[in-house]
Amino acid sequence: MSQPEATRSESLPSKEDSRRRIELWMDLMRTCEQFLLAGLRNKTGPDRPLRDVYRQWYENQVQQQDQTLRHTYEEFQRRGRTSTS
């Protein structure tokens, strides 16, 4: 059931609210990045360039995601064949 037009428009945030929410989101993302970089630095120590450490971490994340997607696809294929056979 949809809301009446007046109720829907009243629930929309103002432009200022939207800008503030975006600012808060960006600040949260920057903070998360700083935590990530600090954690990587803590694991590897000060001797390795942080850019190289991050690049290696990111490549590992991408490989894990690819493996997960590949496995999920294969499972869907396997289940689809067994249910239709």
- What does the pLDDT look like over 36-55, one tens digit per residue? 999 999 999 989 999 999 99
Percent of all residues in the chain with a pLDDT value above 90, rounded to a whole number: 69
Query: Quick check: 24 and 34 in contact, CB under 8 A?
Result: no
- What does the pLDDT look like over 65-81, one tens digit per residue? 999 999 999 999 988 87
Give the H or E element holding residue 70.
helix 50-84
Q: How far is CA 41 from the centre of its chain?
A: 21
